[in-house]
Amino acid sequence: MHGRPRKAPKPEDLAASTAKAEKLRILQSQFLLNHHQKIYTKEALELSSKLLEINPECYTAWNYRKHAVQHSLFESNLDPDSVNSILDQELRVVENALRQNFKSYGAWYHRKWVLNKGHSSTENELRLLDKLQNVDPRNFHAWNYRRFVAALLNRSDEDELNHTQDFIDKNFSNYSAWHNRSVLVSNLMKKKVQAFSRKDEVLIREYELVREAVFTDEDDQSGWFYHLWLLDQTVKAESPLLASSWPAHGSEITLSGDRYLDLGSSSPFNTYQFDSGSLPLILYFNQAVEGVNASTVTVSSGLNVNMDVIWKPILSNNSKTTQVWVGQLKFPDVELDSLGAYTMEVTLGHSQGIISSSGFHYSHPSHFSFTVHVQPAKTEPVEGLGSEKISWRDENFHIYESDSLESNSVLPLDRLSIKNEREPTDSSWQAKIIDEEISNFRELLDCKIGKLTLARLLTARDALMSSDKPVHSEEVLRLYSELMKLDPPHSRFYKDEHSLVLLEKVISGRESFLSYCFRYRNLTSSSSSNPIYLRLNGLSLSRLGSFEKLLWVQMLDLSHNELQSIEGLEAMQLLSHLNLSKNKFGSFTSLEPLRHLKSMKVLDLSYNEIGSHSIDTTRYLCSSPLCHSVGSEWDGSEIVTDGVSLVSYWEAFFILRGLKLTQIDIAGNAIADEKFTAFLAKVLPALKWLDGVQLN
Amino acid sequence: MGELVVDKHVKYILSVEKRKDSFESVVLEHLRMNGAYWGLATLDLLGKLDALDSNEVIEWIMKCQHESGGFAGNIGHDPHMLYTLSAVQVLALFDKLNVLDADKVANYISGLQNEDGSFSGDEWGEVDSRFSYLAICCLSILHRLDKINMEKAVNYIASCKNVDGGFGCTPGGESHAGQIFCCVGALAITGSLHHVDKDLLGWWLCERQVKSGGLNGRPEKLPDVCYSWWVLSSLIMIDRVHWINKDKLVKFILNCQDTENGGISDRPEDAVDVYHTYFGVAGLSLLEYPGLKAIDPAHALPVDVVNRIFFQK
């Protein structure tokens, strides 16, 4: 019961209601009798229309009338006059029902069904709609029906756009009309219909229109989402592009016989433990793609023109596309004890086949190269990390002192992004439009939508720039801080946005970046097995991003933040040490990306909220039988020991099985009782350290 | 504000069945199956499912099943996907799915899938992304998702996505929180949430919270307790529920209680009904209100019932 006041009914009302109910009850049972006995006489039909007038939601009565129409059409021998009179009668019944309940699904569908029977009075439908839409311009049934009739009449998108414009002109506060506009303008741009053939001109016109709406009443949401869509249309690259890779363009790799790789032997940023006998190659695209394989990506070296690389997508759930693809580069032809340097060339986009989830092809050929040096084996094997306990305490780290001999180019951040020639630049039409919008929205800074839109515009402007360092981040951070105070119910939305900008700022720019790079204990920089720890702890981050700049990271400290999700972390395929202690993780399902990080050895999850919540917000973002993304291999009896039923720990089971963790910390979570730690030891056979205690 | 008046709500739900002579109850007779689901799911969330004789309910449910395998909203009415899901959900609540011929029900549903992957609600051919959810949720509970073309079903739902991140009834239809729940729920159950732009939809959904703390279903509309379910469950499935203020929403729902006679209404001081009572209680469960069973945001059944179905084969 929507919008009916709560009050005790007066006795006379109660009596009237009972009488009305009795009448309706008789009507309904008579109707059902007719329905079951397939009685389609005039009286029976009248009874059903009377019933529908009182109760348009009685779906069985609509079904009955459809049977009756079919019956009468058959009887009429399809004589055009009788057909029309039969269908006319139905349209009248629907109109009466709609008058009683404008939102009745059954009534609207009955009308569609009748028109699909070939009724020719479709012009009348537009008149009826005009009448109804005047009464309720936001009724979504009527708008749906309008689109149906427009298609039936073959009305052009331009005509429908004009009709929609009338609604907006009458009252801009009509979200339904703005929605319909977005559908029509999308279609017209796609078809490149005249006046819609130049995207920049269309966008300038649309910005102007929606700005008027937003500026007229800044609290009215009708234009908000339309404006954000325009911004997306302005900056979004339709075709997929390679955003970054590992190894990065221009990097030097030393491949030693003792199965250690030194990437640029003077830099610890790229030390990579070469356990598997092959070198991983990571491609990170600006959007999810499929079709990365040996024919769409060519990898060649001096030795071998086209090396055989098997590419694997990092897929979540039942997705077929992903931003992250990993290839394993094997060196079957290389004698590891022979000296030599080989330049590896990677080319993609030369042939069609890499396609985004929205169907766009990778169409601009890209290319990057790096060098592999082969050196003779060292006699003494270097002791790898993982055999001793890692302690994340501050005193175990010292800040990385950048070697003056080390050239700028050794730092990973300077050669991260692949330059794509057709990307927008400062002088592009995109930049001009955004600059114009920025100056407009600087006039609307006393309200939330003004601040939020400006923050989004500035972020988009930074992304267009050719320099890697965002120039507007200070201003954007300030805007989000103000929004948190201005609009407290949504403060955590702004906080997440704030975190993304903060993280981007922190890792961009040499000086800032270096202040987060640490080395473990007193191992000297000559030891290649002591790579850089990126310590982004205590920054009050609630959300992660900028993964395209972090592909090289193997050791990452994110402790003492406010994270509840590591969405996107699966891109960091080299990660082997990860500290997530003292955050807000609420469940194992929120750690889904870990499933894809097969190099992971050391994991600290201590002091989170795992096991404290009854509602799991990542329950369906994690592969499991619940979302049918883990197949038949699930067997409830797989691990049941000491009376521990797997049902209570299925989340941890699906995330952790398959990982070769040697160290895990779980203390300080509600889930971490004795039973659970026993379960962990069972599900992680390589485990040596559990909550700081050595296992036998 | 006060607390959740559990005992009064239980009493209210049990009394609805007995008040058959009011006009409202006669008008709603054709969807009694939905009513049974709303009422019984509420009782279960309140921990009082045993207040009712399950045999009586199950007997009535089975009388609503047709030869086709589909269920009607009440005895004598026609079968429809809307009531088929409710019937299966109620049987799941009672752990009595075994009384069903699951293949027969699954055949009814798979027979309603269209060439483009969409689903009709019944034999008369109305197409709506709501029906995609009903089909997928029902088959999931019955372990029969392999009976349909899942890829096409998912692609059809994705084609209902709008530029605001939401979903409509059919391609081009306006976004609406109820419709969004159906589409996001179906995508969740089929492991296909990658089709959702979580940040864009998350912003649209969190902006449904109005000053009073309540949620509306579309921009510039009034808040309504039922959106505590449609909006909240969607926000939870895409991990963006922290973008709204939960305390204010709890307050809004509790303010919609009839603290004298039980039941919850759409807005404070309006007349209560079973539908809003269910969505209010389910909303509170999603908000982790103390003392309530947790509810699964996609299958719309208590978590223990869903876990029983999927992890205790």
Nearest residue of B to residue A67, measured between CA atoms = B124
Q: Is residue A257 part of a domain?
A: yes
**Domain residue limits at A614:** 547-694
Burial class (CB in 10 A: 0-12, 13-18, 19+), A468: middle
**What distance in Å separates the CA atoms of residue A323 and residue A356, rounded to the nearest whole number?**
9
Q: Give chain B's domain count.
A: 1
User: For residue range A207-248, what is the model confidence (pLDDT) as tens digits?
Assistant: 999 999 999 999 999 999 999 999 999 998 888 999 999 998
- The pLDDT value recorded for residue A382 is 47
Percent of chain A with pLDDT over 70: 84
Model ipTM value? 0.97
- Residue A350's pLDDT band, with cuts at 50, 70 and 90, is confident
Q: Determine contact: B66 vs chain A, CB below 8 A.
A: no
Q: Which of A1, A25, A180 lies closest to B26 in CB terms?
A: A25
- Residue A122's pLDDT band, with cuts at 50, 70 and 90, is confident
Residues 660 to 689 of A: which have CB under 8 A from any B CB?
Answer: none
- The pLDDT value recorded for residue A58 is 96
- Residue A385's pLDDT band, with cuts at 50, 70 and 90, is very low
- Residue B304's pLDDT band, with cuts at 50, 70 and 90, is very high
Residues A295 and A343 in one domain: yes
- The pLDDT value recorded for residue A13 is 82
- The pLDDT value recorded for residue A7 is 79
Residue A351 belongs to domain with CATH number: 2.60.40
| Mean model confidence pLDDT for chain A | 87
| Mean model confidence pLDDT for chain B | 96
Q: Is residue A520 part of a domain?
A: no
Residues A201 and A313 in one domain: no
Residues A227 and A246 in one domain: no
Q: Determine contact: B218 vs chain A, CB below 8 A.
A: yes
- B106 pLDDT above the threshold of 80: yes
Residues A94 and A203 in one domain: yes
Task: Look at A525 and B271; give whichever has higher pLDDT.
Answer: B271
Residues 543 to 602 of A: which have CB under 8 A from any B CB?
Answer: 564-565, 567, 590
- The pLDDT value recorded for residue A512 is 86
Q: Is residue B255 part of a domain?
A: yes
Instruction: Provide, as residue numbers in chain B, all residues whose Cβ is less than 8 Å from the Cβ of A628.
Output: 140, 145, 150, 189-191
- The pLDDT value recorded for residue A155 is 94
Q: Is residue A38 part of a domain?
A: yes
- The pLDDT value recorded for residue A237 is 83
**What distance in Å separates the CA atoms of residue B283 and residue B241, rounded to the nearest whole number?**
12
- B22 pLDDT above the threshold of 90: no
User: For residue range A306-347, what is the model confidence (pLDDT) as tens digits?
Assistant: 678 899 999 988 899 999 999 988 765 454 545 567 788 999
Residue A268 tokens read as: 């610890």
In the numeric block, the tokens 């970046």 are attached to A513
- Residue A582's pLDDT band, with cuts at 50, 70 and 90, is very high
- Residue A415's pLDDT band, with cuts at 50, 70 and 90, is very low
- The pLDDT value recorded for residue A260 is 47
Over residues A30-47, mean pLDDT: 97
**What is the largest distance, in Å, between two alpha-carbon atoms of chain B?**
52
Q: Is residue A527 part of a domain?
A: no
Q: Give chain A's domain count.
A: 4
- Residue A642's pLDDT band, with cuts at 50, 70 and 90, is low
Residue B116 tokens read as: 């483009």
Residues A476 and A586 in one domain: no
First to last CA, chain B: 43
**What distance in Å separates the CA atoms of residue A600 and residue A521, rounded to the nearest whole number?**
20
Distances (CA, A) of A32 to A61, A471, B6, B28, B77: 8, 72, 38, 15, 8
- A632 pLDDT above the threshold of 70: no
Q: Which of A147, A169, A179 is nearest to A160 (CA)?
A: A147
Residue A136 belongs to domain with CATH number: 1.25.40.120
- The pLDDT value recorded for residue A342 is 79
Residues A103 and A183 in one domain: yes
Residue B179 belongs to domain with CATH number: 1.50.10.20
Q: Determine contact: A11 vs chain B, CB below 8 A.
A: no
Percent of chain A with pLDDT over 90: 62
- A405 pLDDT above the threshold of 50: no
Distances (CA, A) of B234 to A507, B215, B279: 33, 12, 14
- A383 pLDDT above the threshold of 50: no
Residues A610 and A503 in one domain: no
Parallel, antiparallel, or unpaired for β A555-557 and A577-579? parallel
Q: Where are the alpha helices (DSSP H) in B147-192?
A: 150-159, 177-189
- The pLDDT value recorded for residue B113 is 98
- Residue A16's pLDDT band, with cuts at 50, 70 and 90, is confident
User: For residue range A264-277, what is the model confidence (pLDDT) as tens digits?
Assistant: 444 566 555 555 56
Q: Is residue A313 part of a domain?
A: yes
Instruction: Provide, as residue numbers in chain A, all residues whose Cβ is less than 8 Å from the Cβ of B25.
Output: 21
- B255 pLDDT above the threshold of 90: yes
- The pLDDT value recorded for residue A121 is 73
Q: Is residue B301 part of a domain?
A: yes
**Domain residue limits at B253:** 6-311
Residues A433 and A568 in one domain: no
User: For residue range A540-552, what is the model confidence (pLDDT) as tens digits?
Assistant: 999 999 999 999 9
Residues A558 and A682 in one domain: yes
**What distance in Å separates the CA atoms of residue A657 and residue A680, rounded to the nearest whole number?**
10
**What distance in Å separates the CA atoms of residue B284 and residue B264, rounded to the nearest whole number?**
12
In the numeric block, the tokens 């999308």 are attached to A186
- The pLDDT value recorded for residue A408 is 45
CB contact under 8 A, A228 and B27: no
- Residue A51's pLDDT band, with cuts at 50, 70 and 90, is very high
Q: Determine contact: B158 vs chain A, CB below 8 A.
A: no
Nearest residue of A to residue B207, measured between CA atoms = A490
- Residue B277's pLDDT band, with cuts at 50, 70 and 90, is very high
- B282 pLDDT above the threshold of 60: yes
- The pLDDT value recorded for residue A529 is 54
- The pLDDT value recorded for residue B312 is 78
Q: Is residue A188 part of a domain?
A: yes
Do A689 and A679 contact (CB within 8 A), yes or no? no
Over residues A381-402, mean pLDDT: 74
**What distance in Å separates the CA atoms of residue A472 and residue B154, rounded to the nearest whole number?**
40
**What distance in Å separates the CA atoms of residue A223 and residue A211, rounded to the nearest whole number?**
8
Nearest residue of A to residue B262, measured between CA atoms = A6
Residues 6 or more apart from A194 whose CB is under 8 A from it?
none
- The pLDDT value recorded for residue A563 is 98
CB contact under 8 A, B272 and A318: no
pTM of this structure: 0.95
User: For residue range A502-534, what is the model confidence (pLDDT) as tens digits?
Assistant: 999 999 888 888 899 998 876 544 444 567 899
- Residue A633's pLDDT band, with cuts at 50, 70 and 90, is low
| CA torsion angle A568 A569 A571 A574 (round to 10) | 180
- A467 pLDDT above the threshold of 70: no
Q: Determine contact: A617 vs chain B, CB below 8 A.
A: yes
User: Of A131-140, A565-574, A642-651, B299-308, where does mean pLDDT reach its minimum?
Assistant: A642-651
User: For residue range A168-210, what is the model confidence (pLDDT) as tens digits?
Assistant: 999 999 999 999 999 999 999 999 888 899 999 999 999 999 9
Residues A341 and A262 in one domain: yes
**What distance in Å separates the CA atoms of residue A179 and residue A223, rounded to the nearest whole number?**
9
Look at residues A191, A219, A235 and tell me which one is the last residue of a structural domain.
A235
Residues A231 and A246 in one domain: no
Q: Determine contact: A24 vs chain B, CB below 8 A.
A: yes
Residues A197 and A305 in one domain: no
Q: Is residue B1 part of a domain?
A: no
**What distance in Å separates the CA atoms of residue B190 and residue B133, rounded to the nearest whole number?**
10
Residues 88 to 117 of A: which have CB under 8 A from any B CB?
Answer: 105, 109, 112-113
